[in-house]
Amino acid sequence: MDRFWGNDFVMTAGYYSVVILCTIVFLAIFEIVTKYRNWEEIKNGNLSVAMATGGKIFGVANIFRHSIAQHESLISMISWGVFGFILLLIGYFIFEFLTPKFNIDIEIQNDNRAVGLISLIISVGLSYVIGAGI
């Protein structure tokens, strides 16, 4: 059985499956903390929401990429990935806090593409910093 679990193909499929599941859970959490409904807005063609959501997906994937590279056990990889996600979520709240002149969620919901782009870049940028730390 050790030979099976030690197989690179099996490990890659395992990491892939876990990251997909975690990404779905993390996107559901982002859906809860934002004032808009991500997939409904994307369905309606809201490019700002698509950019912000894409940045979150990339950010989570990048964090897990670093977590997989640095940690050998699945539990350790998941733990560091969850920790990285929490830091990414905190970054989202800091972004909201640092822009008191307007509400990030409302601007993104109203398809303010400048805010959507900045949101994407913040998620991607923070994921590199978080990834380097884990």
pLDDT, tens digit (0-9, with 9 covering 90-100), for 49-61: 999 999 999 999 9
pLDDT of residue 127: 97
Q: What is the identity of the amino acid at 44? A: N
Residues counted in the chain: 134
Tell me: pLDDT of 93 over 70.
yes
Taking the complete model, does pTM exceed 0.75, yes or no? yes
Distance (Å, rounded) from C-alpha 49 to C-alpha 109?
A: 7
pLDDT band at 2; cut points 50, 70, 90: low
